[in-house]
Chain A
Amino acid sequence: MKVAELIKQRSPYWRELEELSMRMGGRKKKSDPDQVTRFTTLYRAACADLALAESYQLPPQTVEYLHRLVGRAHNQLYRSQSYQLQSWTKRIFRDTPRQIFNDPCIQIATVLFWGLFLIAGYLSYNATIWPGFSEAVVGVEGLDQMRDMYTGFGGNNGIGSRSFMMGFYITNNATIGLSCFVMMLLVIPGIVVLSFNAIYLGTVFGFMFRQESGAASENFQNFVTAHGPFELTAIILAAGAGLKIGLSWMMTDGLNRKDSLLKTAREALPIVMCAVVLFALAALIEGFISPLGDFPWWGKGTVAVVSSCLLMIYFVVLGYPAAWPGGEEDGF
């Protein structure tokens, strides 16, 4: 068999495979069965040709072509699995809460965030301990702005402006959360972002809760109560998931660094998606319920209590590790 003849003989099949993989690549709906059978037959033939290229003594150019052809067809044959929705219910309602419940990184993030938040809040509230603390963190202008904002509060009650604010909150807050998650890969920048947010928020809270803030204080409490639980939890979840990934390539638990990173990233993604959902819920509440000036405070309190209860059910009831080894004797 001459090489030239061999190439001439096989080329039509190669070209057919090339054309089929191009056609199947752009197609959204399912290809018809005959075409798929034909495709796989051609693919196997091309694979065999490539495997035997050395025995055939094919020139490098042809071998190169075959590599590309097989590669391209391989990508069509083993297509991406996209998002498998069936397995998601199990993942959302069983695996993820258990994972969150058990995760030391999320516990660390919780302690870090709330610790800094409360310390900054107290320092800012009680101006005698560290005079000028809140001014140093937020700046005098910032504090004034904050006070002005909440003094004349409750004006924008139109549904249009509320939707706009909801969109703004989702974009802004979820972006902060996700960037915190991403920065945590390098641990230190992530911790800086998380700590900054905790201290800043704590300071603003402490400042606005002071007696001298007057009407602004009342309005502020009225505003933040309803959406607080979801939003603060979401920040912690995003940061915790990021910290998990960041630590995975330092503490590898017997794997090599790359594999440890891959494995942990896969585990952490549901947690950060959970955070995104919480950010969206928080933004809905923040956009539509929180700004209601005439809505009684106890009503917003109820929203906060209900959302906290939902979080509790999700993290503790669903997350309580039923089959956790040693879970019963752990004294929970």
Chain B
Amino acid sequence: MSSHRKISAAETESMVRGVGGQSRPRANDQKRIIDTMMMVKTPENISFQYEISGPFYRLVAYLADLIFAFGGYFIVVVSLYIMMGMAFWLIGDVFLNPAQVFSVISGVVFGFVLVGFFLIFWFYGAYMEARFNGQTLGKRLCGIRVISVDGHAIDGVQATLRNFFRFLDIMPIVPLQMLLGLESQVLFAIPTFLIGLGVMALNGKFQRVGDLVAGTVVIFEEKKHRPDLIEFEDERVPKLAEMIPADFVASRGLTQVVAEFAEQRKYLAPQRSADIANHLAGPLMERFGMLADTDPDLFMCSLYHRLFVTSEGDDSLASQVVQAKEVVVPSASTPTEWGSEL
């Protein structure tokens, strides 16, 4: 019930703010605070948002990395040994004492295998993130990326530091015997990740200790967002849109609210959707002199259709678009096919 009141209050406010439309940036700021978003200001003086990735998504990426790195290494090592064995089986006779030679060579190889293990354990993440722009294989698979807190790409120093300090994030390491109360000589240690999880929970950017030391943050980089407008299948939508008076000009706040409603509509139950629409649509339907039994939900969709699909917009907007075109197209300095197309 309380959430219901809150939404309607906010929405009414934006309706009341109405024509002036000056308070739009404030509403946007509030949105940023609520969500796990991070603002970045580029050298081009553009601000844009990143969505920050949470601990469990990153755990999946980390486990995938473990499988890739150590599984891959294991396969390489085993196949190397199989190949060595086969080579000896084929040409081993040239040595006087094949068994001894084989044991020497396999010893040498095993030494390097251990060195490789050490390098992978401490430097796999660092190398991958520095080389592939903040992504290891697992991160690439999960669509996340490491960037600096200021929005720039990370450098080698940051990549190395954040991966070194993972060792602290996986603490405390609990021996399996202690958990299960087993009497066993072999020590199986389970990293609990509790320090990392705790530190992540305590700061707003989900930074683990390694991220704090290196000044990095992990963000989502999804590809599945679409820029298109919502299309309604209901045939009544365009018809009702035509009934909205031609001289009606919506404020920015109203435009925003209508768009938000239309986009969120598909996630709401019909009853709830109608409930919200009623608050929004009531005063407007009254103003337009529409019948009281018009479906508010349908009316909101029509308003969306009218505002985004059929509306010509006001003159100031049109002039801004013209200006924008001049800004966008660098036709004077770099003559590309752009100039003619736009």
Contact = CB atoms under 8 A, between A and B. Distances in A.
Interface of A: 1-4, 6-7, 9-11, 14, 18, 22, 25, 37-38, 41, 44-45, 47-52, 54-57, 59-62, 64-72, 74-76, 78-84, 158-168, 170-171, 174-175, 178-179, 181-183, 185-186, 245, 258, 261-262, 265-266, 269, 272-273, 287
Given A164-B111, A185-B209, A186-B168, A2 B155 contact: no
Contact of B134 (A49, A80, A175): A80
Interface string B195-231: 0000000000000010011110001011101111110
A7 B229 CA distance: 8
Contacts of A45: 328-329, 338
Contact of A60 (B151, B152, B259): B259
B334 A41 contact: yes
B320 A65 contact: no
Contacts of B324: 48-49, 52, 55-56
Contacts of A80: 129-134, 153-156, 159
Contacts of A82: 130-131, 155-156
A interface majority secondary structure: helix
Contacts of A181: 164
B53 to A, nearest CB: 13
B313 A171 contact: no
A49 B328 contact: yes
B260 interface: yes
Contact of A2 (B152, B164, B165, B312): B312
Contacts of A261: 212-213
Contacts of A170: 114-115, 118
10 residue pairs, one from A and one from B, having the closest CB atoms:
A160-B107, A167-B114, A163-B111, A167-B111, A59-B259, A160-B104, A83-B156, A65-B227, A80-B153, A163-B108
Contacts of B159: 80
B70 interface: no
B256 interface: yes
A44 B115 contact: no
B49 A65 contact: no
B167 A182 contact: yes
A174 B167 CA distance: 13
Contacts of B214: 262, 265
Contacts, number: 244
B107 A158 contact: yes
B317 A54 contact: no
Given A4-B308, A41-B338, A167 B112 contact: yes
B147 interface: yes
B225 A178 contact: no
Nearest to B107: A160
A53 B23 CA distance: 16
Contacts of A159: 104, 107-108
Given A45-B328, A60-B256, A182-B164, A68 B222 contact: yes
B40 A163 contact: no
Contacts of A258: 212, 215
Interface size class of B (residues with CB under 8 A): 35 or more
B78 interface: no
Contacts of B157: 266, 269
Given A2-B313, A80-B129, A74 B40 contact: yes
16 contacts: A2-B309, A37-B334, A55-B317, A56-B317, A75-B145, A80-B129, A82-B130, A159-B107, A160-B104, A171-B114, A171-B115, A171-B118, A175-B122, A183-B168, A258-B215, A262-B213
Given A4-B309, A57-B307, 18 more contacts: A22-B223, A49-B324, A66-B48, A70-B48, A71-B219, A72-B223, A74-B151, A75-B147, A79-B133, A80-B132, A80-B155, A84-B156, A158-B104, A164-B110, A166-B111, A182-B165, A183-B168, A265-B214
Nearest to B222: A68
B213 A265 contact: yes
A234 to B, nearest CB: 14
B108 A74 contact: no
B40 A71 contact: yes
B46 interface: yes
Contacts of B153: 75, 78-81
B212 A50 contact: no
Contacts of B109: 163
Contacts of B147: 75
B48 A71 contact: yes
Contacts of B44: 44, 47
Contacts of A79: 133, 153
A117 to B, nearest CB: 24
B267 to A, nearest CB: 13
B313 A3 contact: yes
B112 A59 contact: no
B168 to A, nearest CB: 5
A277 to B, nearest CB: 13
Contacts of A162: 107, 111
Contacts of A158: 103-104, 107
B338 to A, nearest CB: 6
Contacts of B79: none
Contact of B168 (A10, A55, A185): A185
B263 interface: yes
A47 B223 contact: no
B321 A6 contact: yes
A178 B164 contact: yes
Contact of B263 (A55, A61, A74): A61
